[in-house]
Homo-oligomer: A and B are copies of this chain.
Amino acid sequence: MISDAATRLIASSWPKLPEAARDVLLEVLIHGPLSRAEIAARLRLSRPTLTRVAKSLVAQGLLVEGDTRPRASAGRPSEMLHVRGAAHRFLGVKLTADRLFAAVTDLTATPIATAEEPLRSRDPDEVVAQIADVARRFPGVTGIGVTLGGVVLDGLVARDEFLRWTDVPLKAAVTGATRVPTAVDNDVQALTAAEHWFGPGAGLRSLAVITVGAGVGTGLIVGGGLVAGSHGLPPHFSHTLVDAKGPQCGCGRRGCISSYLMTHVVLQRLTGNPSYAEALDRVRAGDPQARQVFDEAGYALGVLIGTVANVIDPQKVLLTGEGLPLYEVSSPLVHDGIEDTYEDDPDLIELDVRPFDFSEWARSGAALAIKETITGAITEWPQGNRRR
């Protein structure tokens, strides 16, 4: 069989790669262009193995040889291997209570197109049909990743309070309706995985991702893998107590971390029912009431960061989400919160703050699909996997 990589611009089915090939692809995907020698050293594989594996990945159109990079001193220059992003496309879908956000990316999770539309209905069957409609508009994708703000276990949406779902087998339904392998996960979990592969947390063995938005979300990478609870629950830090005299929280108590951070609570505490943008303007203009509310929120965020760092002592803490302006206006208080909470030298915490726009959510759905495709978790029939 002769396979001509040059003519196969986009493949829509994923080849079954031997383990070493998966590892090599992953290494280049996560750490950027690398030479064969470099990959061999990192993965502790022999150079001959790398020649073989690279050849097969190039033949399959997944890698391409890029520029040659001259050595510093003597020696033959390295030929850099790049991921050929165009080889595959993935569709990411994020569901909220009333809207659907979609993004098509290439294999490197780089967005190619985005779309956004209102949800026609919250009925699971209709939502599946709507996702299938979106998928039809972007044919030829290798995998689909759907994310939502609920509890997901093995492709089953155990519950989602926004969509008011219970036990919806979304993965099977979307796979069936689209005939495309589909992954489903909690949105924060998917974002965490995305940042761990394609973001500033690329390849770290431990990472904490904190998203500040309408609510607060936390995702953890430990030992190089995503922490997924045994009942599908993502990590919950947000009802840790900051000050029992704090604002009323949705959980019934007062002064939880989330009670300071949830957008609607921040706005409620301000006079005149402002929008979030207006509230930020007030802080920047020096309004003392707004300053107080945002500083308390910033302090709570610091407590959250410190608490997370106490628990898993990660290599990096990544702060992201639509609510990031909070850090911008109240970073001193964030750091006060960290200092009061973290039990070691706060300088050990590498805090990375990332601008965020809402399309990241859909993109991380595509990243989820990429991840599950490469690791093989997305196949409908689980196949032999020797590792525990």
Chain A contact residues, CB within 8 Å of chain B? 23, 43-45, 205-206, 222-225, 227, 229-233, 235-237, 239-244, 251, 253, 307, 310-315, 340-341, 343-344, 348, 384-386, 388
A308 to B45 Cα, complex, angstroms: 39
Q: CB-nearest residue of chain B relative to A207?
A: B230
CB distance from A6 to the nearest CB of B (A): 32
A206 to B228 Cα, complex, angstroms: 9
Q: Which residues of B contact A44 (CB under 8 A)?
A: 384-386
Number of copies: 2
Q: A227-B312, A230-B315 are in contact. List 4 more A-B contacts (CB 8 A).
A: A205-B230, A222-B225, A229-B314, A251-B343
**Secondary structure class of chain A's binding surface, majority of residues:** loop
B222 contacts A227, C-beta separation under 8 Å: yes
B386 contacts A235, C-beta separation under 8 Å: no
A243 to B253 Cα, complex, angstroms: 12
Q: Which residues of B contact A340 (CB under 8 A)?
A: 253
Q: Which residues of B contact A312 (CB under 8 A)?
A: 227, 229, 235
Q: Which residues of B contact A243 (CB under 8 A)?
A: 244
CB distance from A65 to the nearest CB of B (A): 24
Q: CB-nearest residue of chain B relative to A350?
A: B230
Q: Which residues of B contact A237 (CB under 8 A)?
A: 310-311
A307 to B206 Cα, complex, angstroms: 20
